[in-house]
Amino acid sequence: MLRRPYLSAFVVAVAFLVSPRLASAEEKPVVVPLLSTGMTTVGEPLHYPAGPPHVTAAIVTFPPGAKTALHRHGVPMFAYILEGEVTVDYGDRGKRTYHQGDALIEAMDVPHFGADIGSQPVRILVVNMGAEGVAEMIPVK
């Protein structure tokens, strides 16, 4: 029975000591916006597939000289360049080079391919915002 008052006092003392620290400005999360848009990188309006939602996130690494096949996307795809730079060829819409720190929503209906034409690997955080049974990447022949 004597332990309960000591335990309560200890809990109150710890809460008092810790709570001011948790509220300090140095320990609050910092939010750095990367992207806010309703359009793809080539100006298409975003459109979501029908069906049960399914989100996939991955880090894609391109070694120097690597390139994707010509493709389009069946779902919106967010990309954030973690390291290096990648050049994407959008055909008659031109080529764009994305560098470390760039964020984009990739083209959906415009066929394109990406390539690492530099001498360093490229690392990209890719998030596909799709639906079950809907292809994220669709090869174009």
Mean pLDDT of 66-91: 98
Burial letters 110-141, b for 16+ CB under 10 A, else e: bbbebbbbeeeebbbebebbbeeebebeeeee
Rounded Cα distance, 135 and 55, in Å: 12
pLDDT at 127: 98
* From 27-31, 84-88, 111-115, 128-132, the region with the lowest mean pLDDT: 27-31
Q: Which domains does the chain have, with CATH numbers?
A: 53-139 (2.60.120.10)
Query: Does residue 38 have a pLDDT over 80?
Result: yes
- From 85, 78, 87, select the one nearest 33 (Cα to Cα): 78
pLDDT at 27: 87
pLDDT at 25: 60
pLDDT at 76: 98
Query: Does residue 16 have a pLDDT over 80?
Result: no
pLDDT at 6: 44
Q: pLDDT over 90 for what percent of the chain?
A: 80
Query: Does residue 112 have a pLDDT over 60?
Result: yes
Q: Is 21 left (phi over 0), alpha (psi -120 to 50) or beta?
A: alpha
DSSP the chain: -THHHHHHHHHHHHHHHHHHHHTSGGGS---------SB-TTSPBP-PPSSSEEEEEEEEEE-TT-BPPSEEESS-EEEEEEESEEEEE-GGG-EEEEETT-EEE--SSS-BEEE--SSS-EEEEEEEEEETT--SEEE--
Query: Does residue 84 have a pLDDT over 50?
Result: yes
pLDDT at 11: 43
- From 138, 50, 38, select the one nearest 78 (Cα to Cα): 38
Mean pLDDT of 36-53: 96
pLDDT at 26: 73
Mean pLDDT of the chain: 88
